[in-house]
């Protein structure tokens, strides 16, 4: 069962966020192009019920859960032209407010995050 998000993410949910981040990081290994990744993975994510959207300079991967909860992960161009998964995740808290969390610290982003 999916645990409900909170202002300070529960340990259980944070563990799952980190697993999703690791899963996505594994899926981008060797990719240097956002376009190529989308071409190769869009149908695969669709079969799993996960939205993958190519935006201006990033890919958004949107996981939807019960009660309108969600997590958005972002793939961006990283060092040496390889793709990387941002450590910042957009999600919804218990108060239906949107949060931006650092998946490694579990804490809200301290400033506006952009990439």
Q: Is the pLDDT of residue 62 over 50?
A: yes
Mean pLDDT of 38-49: 96
pLDDT of residue 10: 76
> Confidence band (pLDDT; 50, 70, 90) for 49?
very high
Which has the minimum average pLDDT: 9-13, 64-68, 73-77? Answer: 9-13
The pTM of the full predicted model, rounded to 2 decimals, is: 0.85
Say yes or no to pLDDT of 12 above 70. yes
3-state SS string over the chain?
Answer: CCCCCCCCCCHHHHHHHHHHHHHHHHHCCCCCCHHHHHHHHHHHHHHCCCEEEECCCCEEEEEECHHHCEEEEEEEECHHHCEEECCEEEEECCCCCEEEEECCCCCECCCCCCC
Q: 54 vs 109, which has greater pLDDT?
A: 54
Q: Compare 21 and 115 and report the one with higher pLDDT.
A: 21
């Amino acid at each position: 069962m999916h645990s409900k998000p909170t202002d300070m993410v529960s340990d259980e949910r944070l563990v799952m966020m980190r697993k999703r981040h690791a899963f996505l990081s594994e899926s981008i290994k060797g990719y240097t192009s956002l376009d190529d990744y989308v071409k190769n993975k869009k149908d695969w994510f669709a079969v799993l019920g996960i939205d993958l959207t190519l935006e201006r300079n990033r890919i958004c991967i949107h996981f939807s859960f019960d009660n309108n909860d969600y997590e958005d992960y972002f793939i961006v161009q990283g060092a040496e032209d390889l793709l990387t998964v941002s450590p910042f995740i957009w999600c919804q808290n218990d108060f239906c407010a949107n949060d931006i969390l650092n998946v490694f610290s579990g804490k809200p982003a301290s400033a506006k995050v952009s990439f």
